[in-house]
Amino acid sequence: MKRNFIIMLLLVCSAMTSFAQRAVYTREYNDKKLVKTAKKWLKQGDWRQGFTAAAPHESVNVVDFYLQYQRNPEQWKALFQYLAKTDLLALEKGKHEIPGSDLVISVEDSQNGPLEKRNSESHYFNIDFQYCVKGVERFGIIDHVTSTPKDKYKKDVIHYNYDKERALFYDSTPDKFFIFFPGDWHIAKVNNDTDNQDIRVCVIKVAWKEK
């Protein structure tokens, strides 16, 4: 009896430890049918609207992407049609309106910087579509479980204190684009491992639609 109790206690402790160590980096969906539908939709590629220069990075939340595209199709179609038809390397830096939508593309010639000088952030009402068309931009994605707000939400942005050891880091190159939904708490323009930190980044903010 005592032996069984000890075994049970060890199992409970192990489960609690696993739970404590679990990290959350994006919004999670338990609807298997929805997840399957979203992955099929992504693979079919009709959303591309002729844009083939880059694919979604593996970190992109496929279900969020699918749902937002369905809820706001004209904006997303205009976004990808614009990317397909525009030479983003030749485009003058600054802000440009995207025809057929109320979207604006911000073209930035910038530089990465040390992680400790880059702010983490997330947004409630807007989605960040980020595409590094020149150079290598490093992004960090932080864990929800161990992160806490470091200031008040203001102008659709909030910053976080976070555990660097639990952050995930990905390099953004011209063959991939990133999409940060409200459930994706991220850090942009972090130094990569090369000697060249110069980048050209195109950022488009798309309104988040609940339903």
Each residue's pLDDT tens digit, 14-72: 333 344 568 999 999 999 999 999 999 999 999 999 999 999 999 999 999 999 999 99
Within a domain: 17: no
Buried b (16+ CB within 10 A) or exposed e, 120-151: bbbbeebbbbbbbbebbbbbbbbbbebbeeee
What is the number of domains present in the chain? Answer: 1
Asked, for residue 6, whether it belongs to a domain, the answer is no
Residue 118, in any domain of the structure: yes
Q: Is residue 192 a part of any domain in this protein?
A: yes
DSSP annotation of 13 reads H
Domain annotation covers residue 9? no
Band of pLDDT at residue 211, cut at 50, 70 and 90: confident
Does 197 map to a domain?
yes
> Which domain range does residue 158 map to?
27-207
Any idea what DSSP says for residue 195? S
Residues in the chain: 211
Question: Within 13 A of 114's CA, how many CA atoms are on the CB side?
Answer: 2
CATH number of the domain residue 84 falls in:
2.60.120.370
Whether 15 maps to a domain, the answer reads no
Residue 22 lies in a domain: no
